[in-house]
Amino acid sequence: MSSTEPRLRVRGLRKAFGPTRALAGVDVDVLPGEVHALVGENGAGKSTLVRVLSGALQPDAGDMLLDGAPYRPAGPLDGVRHGVAMVYQELSLAPHLGAAANILLGREETRGGLLRRGVMRSRARAALAALGHPDVDLDLPARHLPIALSQPGIRVLILDEPTSSLAAADVDRLFATVQRIRRDGLSVIYISHVLEEVARIADRVTVLRDGVTVGTGRVADLPPAAIISMMAGRDVAEIFPRSPHEPGDVVLTVRDLSGVDKPSSASLELRSGEVLGVGGLIGAGRTELLRIIFGLDPVRRGLVRVGAYGGPASPWGRWGQGVGLLSEDRKAQGLALGMSVADNLTLSKLSGFGPLGVVLPARQASAARRWIERLGIKASAPGQPVQQLSGGNQQKVALARLLYHDVDVLLLDEPTRGIDVGSKAQIYELIDQLALAGKAVLLVSSYLPELIGVCDRVAVMRRGNLGAARAVAGLREHDILVEALGPA
């Protein structure tokens, strides 16, 4: 880091929306040439803070200094003019415009009211070259482009969950770019739920809880357990509940199962009252395994047996057999974002809400409200559109649908991806309670502490082949990783 004087200084920042205090006194110092991570549970105030910093919101109180000068942008464009730019988690691109137009959107070069297209293309080309994409077609519509970040002339760059839509190779390229621009003196505010990313990329970290700064320090001096404790307000040991489970009869059998592409060969037995984890690298075939079991993808070879029923089935048939799937992509496949919480929660079973198949909204809302209360879903009403909920609460709605349907076998694909530590802890506790109640859980996860902390047994998939399940007692994260990578 090139200086001890803050590039951006925030003191006593406050922002309320009616009776809700989103920010109740936030203090942050961001130094020149540093990557400063911002972490906290959903609802901790991260999004509100960075929207104030970028100019999208006006604070109610507090002071901001940018390189020692008072800073209070009138809007996002004003923030960019001052050198503060933000890349949102939900990518804000004009999909019909080309790369050059998107890169310089709001900062177009003009002379006499006319666009200086040659100058704009040169600036766009230089920005893309700095990001490792020198050959991108500047006229190609943005919907066809790889994800990239670029804003020339900035001093502070805010990245909101930047890896959520990136493949592994693009994550590496992004991190290399961030390291390069920080060496040039740029300050980066990095928001992430993934503490491994924070440890890899950030110099310092600030933790928010309930709209207040609860801690700041060097990442090298703060182990993940300490950061989690500050985020959640409780000890890390409480994150993973560990109740003794008593597995019963086999409820799901998979024998030498293969799909059109993946998996190549998978065999397992899942018993009632247990949580069986499936680890492995992304692309190994774990998601495809769950999709085949649930009937979404065809079986090329092998057997799937649910209870006494053996053979292929449609998703509707699996619901009838007591099997439910939680998709890894809740926004594209797991939820109907334009519909209400109640609709999403009850769509798989609409019987009983009225005579002759009629759905009476009051009865549907009453049924949904019970699960909203049981899972602690933060929603204003059952009729609230699910897209208005936080990621953690959306995930709880998707889980609540399986519980409302009262399935016996839960296929959970990355159930805590992209949600905060507090919501993760609640989902872990729910999974533990389901196993205690005799439900069977098949859990796919890329997060190794989750596999060891939640599951009774873990099997690892490598290149489409599922290994034998092993008890987690004595199993280390290193063991899972070695099996996932295979022999050197």
396-437 pLDDT per residue, tens? 899 999 999 999 999 999 998 777 777 788 889 999 999 999
Phi, psi for 40 (deg, rounded to 5): 160, 160
Whether 401 contacts 416, CB under 8 Å: no
CB 398 within 8 A of CB 334: yes
Using a 10 angstrom Cβ sphere, with 0-12 exposed, 13-18 middle and 19 or more buried, the burial of residue 32 is: buried
Do the domains 8-91+147-236 and 250-485 sit in the same CATH topology, yes or no? yes
- Specify burial of residue 487 (Cβ count, 10 A radius: 0-12, 13-18, 19+): exposed
Alpha-helix residue ranges (DSSP H) falling in 270-409: 286-294, 315-320, 341-346, 361-375, 391-405
The whole-model pTM stands at 0.65
448: tokens are 């190794």
Contact indicator for 134, 91 with CB cutoff of 8 Å: no
d(CA 425, CA 315): 29
Q: Are 64 and 120 in contact (CB under 8 A)?
A: no
Q: At residue 28, what are phi and psi to the nearest 5 degrees?
A: -145, 140
- Rg, C-alpha atoms of the chain: 24
Residues sharing a CB contact under 8 Å with residue 356, sequence separation 6 or more, in sequence order: none
CA distances from 340 to 60, 337, 377 (A): 32, 8, 13
Domain covering 250-485, topology = Rossmann fold (3.40.50)
Name the amino acid, one letter, at 481. L
CATH code at 8-91+147-236? 3.40.50.300
- The backbone region for 461, taken as left when phi is positive above 0, alpha when psi lies in -120 to 50, beta otherwise, is beta
pLDDT digits (tens, 9 = 90+) for 287-315: 999 999 999 999 999 999 999 888 778 99
Q: How do the pLDDT tens digits run along the chain, 488 residues long?
A: 445 789 999 999 999 887 678 899 999 999 999 999 998 876 788 889 999 999 999 999 999 999 999 999 999 889 988 999 887 654 455 555 666 665 665 666 677 767 777 777 777 677 666 555 566 666 656 444 444 444 557 899 998 887 765 666 777 878 888 888 888 889 999 998 778 889 999 999 999 988 899 999 999 999 887 887 788 776 656 678 778 999 999 999 999 999 988 999 999 999 999 999 999 987 889 999 999 999 999 999 999 999 988 877 899 999 999 999 999 888 888 899 889 999 999 988 888 888 888 888 999 999 999 999 988 888 889 999 998 887 778 888 999 999 999 999 999 999 987 777 777 888 899 999 999 999 999 999 988 888 999 999 999 999 899 999 999 998 988 888 888 877 64
Residues 6+ away with beta carbon under 8 Å from 394: 330, 331, 335, 386, 387
Predicted pLDDT of residue 156: 93
Boundaries of every domain in the chain: 8-91+147-236, 250-485
CA distances from 74 to 53, 82, 468 (A): 11, 11, 59
| CA gap 252, 316 in Å, rounded | 17
